[in-house]
Amino acid sequence: MFTIETGSGFWNPLLWMLCIVVAFIVFYIIRSLGSKEYKKDTEQVKAFLSGNPEYAKEHMHVKSSNLYWGFTESIKFFYTFLRKLHTGNVSDYILFFVIILAIFFIIGVI
């Protein structure tokens, strides 16, 4: 293998492979220094919920309408416009993409 000289640096595949191998070795050494006290099928595998009990998934689910309520209320005029455009039909999205791409192309040519 040989080194390819460019105007902004060089490329040597063997050197890059060596760097990747060294990075993996360093990663493995750091990982092996970790705590050995982990035990499967105990309380350690449960999610920490700040001391709150973990309920069934149906009771823990937070709807996105609740999670992003403030955000959607602040831009409600734009959000309702986008919901009207959302048809679920892929051909509509491709049409929007082609129109935006054409606009960018026209702006780029001018």
Query: Is the model's pLDDT at 57 over the cut of 60?
Result: yes
d(CA 58, CA 52): 16
Query: Is the model's pLDDT at 16 over the cut of 90?
Result: no
Look at phi and psi of residue 25 and say left if phi exceeds 0, alpha if psi is from -120 to 50, else beta: alpha
Supply the pTM of this predicted model.
0.35
Q: Which of 46-50, 59-63, 89-93 has the lowest mean pLDDT?
A: 59-63
pLDDT-derived band at 64 (thresholds 50, 70, 90) equals low
What is the pLDDT at residue 100? 93
